[in-house]
Amino acid sequence: MLIVTAVLGTAWGAVDDLVSNAEYHVLRPAGPGGCTAVVRETFFLVVGNGEAYAVGRTGLALGKSGSWVVDDGYRPVDAGTYELDWGRDSGLLRISGTSTDPVVRGGSADIDCWW
């Protein structure tokens, strides 16, 4: 039963990535202790979505650090309209849209690899 669940979960994730045209970006530079920001950008019809994850040295992300919605399927990270600033302990990812493709919800994520 556990194997069937794992296979179905993997298949569901792959289909979701195909349908939503998902793109993944590893943002550089890495932050304190090797903390890395990884972004998943998708679009469906005319809505773009993004999710940021904090990935530690283990390579695991323990849940979303933040998310955003952008008009017209715009992908701000792919277009380079974002800022990632690292502090001593964590980072702040700020997402910007354009005048014609604004960020309509969210727009920032705290990147913190506390583990």
Residues 6+ away with beta carbon under 8 Å from 48: 41, 42, 69, 70, 71, 72, 73, 74, 75, 76, 101
CB-based burial, 31-42: b 16+ in 10 Å, e otherwise: beeebbbbbbbb
- What is the model's pLDDT at position 98? 87
Average pLDDT over every residue of 21-43: 89
Q: Distance between CA 44 and CA 53 in Å, rounded?
A: 21
For residue 101, the 8-state DSSP code is S
C-alpha Rg value of the chain to the nearest Å: 15
Tens digits of residue pLDDT in 78-109? 999 999 999 988 999 999 988 888 888 888 99
pTM: 0.79
